[in-house]
Amino acid sequence: MEELYCQGCGAAIQTEDETKAGFAPKSALQRDEVICKRCFRLKHYNEVQDVDMTADDFLNMLQEIEKHDALIVKVVDLFDVHGSFIHGLNRFVGKNPVVLVANKVDLLPKSINLNKVKKWMYRVAKEFGLKVNDIFFVSATKGIGMQEAAFELERLRDGKDVFVVGSTNVGKSTIINYFIQNSNDEKDVITTSYFPGTTLGFIDIPLDERSSMIDTPGIMNHHQMAHYLNDKDLKTITPKKEVKPKVFQLDEDQTLFIGGLARFDIESAQERLGYVCYFSNEINIHRTKLEKADLLYDQHLGEMLSPPSEEALDNWPEMEERTLKISEDKTDVLFSGLGWITVPNAGVTITAHVPKGVRVILREAII
């Protein structure tokens, strides 16, 4: 069969996998002008959907971005900042300015100090080699900060195209949809692609006569906790509402299980302290003695200690542990993609257990 390309975004048409670029239902292949489902939704409903791409396609995509004089908007999930960074992006942005849109601010407790979060995010970006011009905090679903961000982006882009990039699930589609609904009165927003035949699946949304916002496919980061979970468990660990802090008074040799997803041992501490946990309100936190923890995990993973739910255990990896000495008062121990625990005092030694590959990060407390 002759290879077909989407008339909208240039992706190679395929009928197998709905989550990948270029998907179209078989019935759509009969039409004169074939477009993929994602472009179809944009054309008829003014709405974009996220699709995944492979690592190779992703590198091609980055190379394409490098060739353009544009503003790069990188969408980051505030609940998974490390997980939502894209490796290698720094090498391809060239001279183009980069701004971060930090999404899901509605999930952070109200008492948060956003200035601290901002400073920390600049540092994380730097660790990934990315120079960031500005950071905007928004909630795409609640509309918080979106108008201000849109206004600033308009100023920063200075008539140029805007590339919107982000790993899957950070809220990139929700953000673009907000912009489409709020800035474009025209029904038919889609034009033919600027990237014909690149098979990358860029979607081009005109901003004015000369420039566009370009929606790019997302990539799944393999160190995201989400990588190991099924849809049901992912729903449980993804906070839907503002996260309520839970305080646990812990002695040396006590441990906390975050469902069965992570474990937090107090190896040594001078005194009993209050440790503040910030996780999705739907995850159960279980306290036990350190000496009982291994047995408890072996016997109760998937039931008392869940998620992971029993169905997800086949795909469940080994746990890895990291022992960390806390050297500053008020330090957050961050479990990438899950949440964090604030250790109140310096001098405590903890061991964090996480599924293989998931990151554990220390940062100055943000609350």
Chain positions contacting ligand GDP, by CB under 6 A = 50, 103-104, 106-107, 139-142, 166, 168-174, 218
**Smaller CB distance to ligand GDP: residue 174 or 198?**
174
Q: Residue ranges of the alpha helices (H) in 184-314?
A: 231-237, 290-300
Q: Is 323 helix (H, G, I), strand (E, B) or coil?
A: strand
**Least distance (Å) between residue 171 CB and ligand GDP:** 3
Measuring CA to CA, which residue among 300, 264, 308, 320 is closest to residue 283?
A: 308
Pairwise CA distance, residues 313 & 295, whole Å:
17
Amino acid at 100: L
* Integer CA distances (angstroms), 38 to 18, 47, 248, 339, 360, in order: 10, 8, 46, 32, 35
Pairwise CA distance, residues 63 & 91, whole Å:
9
Give me the numbers of helices (H) and strands (E) for the chain, helices first please: 8, 16
**Smaller CB distance to ligand GDP: residue 149 or 348?**
149
**Smaller CB distance to ligand GDP: residue 240 or 272?**
240
**Smaller CB distance to ligand GDP: residue 28 or 75?**
75
Q: Is 96 helix (H, G, I), strand (E, B) or coil?
A: coil
Beta strands in the chain (DSSP E): 70-77, 98-103, 134-137, 161-165, 203-206, 212-215, 246-250, 254-258, 262-268, 273-279, 285-289, 319-325, 331-335, 339-343, 349-355, 360-364
**Least distance (Å) between residue 310 CB and ligand GDP:** 24
**Smaller CB distance to ligand GDP: residue 139 or 236?**
139
Do residues 57 and 69 touch, judged by C-beta distance below 8 A?
no
**Smaller CB distance to ligand GDP: residue 77 or 161?**
77
**Smaller CB distance to ligand GDP: residue 176 or 333?**
176
Task: Point out which residues pair with 73 in neighbouring strands.
Answer: 99, 164
**Smaller CB distance to ligand GDP: residue 102 or 360?**
102
**Smaller CB distance to ligand GDP: residue 228 or 264?**
228
**Smaller CB distance to ligand GDP: residue 76 or 350?**
76
**Least distance (Å) between residue 281 CB and ligand GDP:** 12
**Least distance (Å) between residue 12 CB and ligand GDP:** 21
The Cβ-side half-sphere exposure at 337, using a 13 Å CA radius, reads 28
Do residues 360 and 324 touch, judged by C-beta distance below 8 A?
yes
**Least distance (Å) between residue 174 CB and ligand GDP:** 3
Give the chain's end-to-end CA distance (angstroms, integer): 59
**Least distance (Å) between residue 277 CB and ligand GDP:** 19
Measuring CA to CA, which residue among 317, 289, 288 is closest to residue 305?
A: 288
**Least distance (Å) between residue 83 CB and ligand GDP:** 12
**Least distance (Å) between residue 70 CB and ligand GDP:** 19
- C-alpha triplet 168, 171, 174: angle, nearest 5°: 125
**Least distance (Å) between residue 144 CB and ligand GDP:** 7
Q: Is 343 helix (H, G, I), strand (E, B) or coil?
A: strand
**Least distance (Å) between residue 139 CB and ligand GDP:** 4
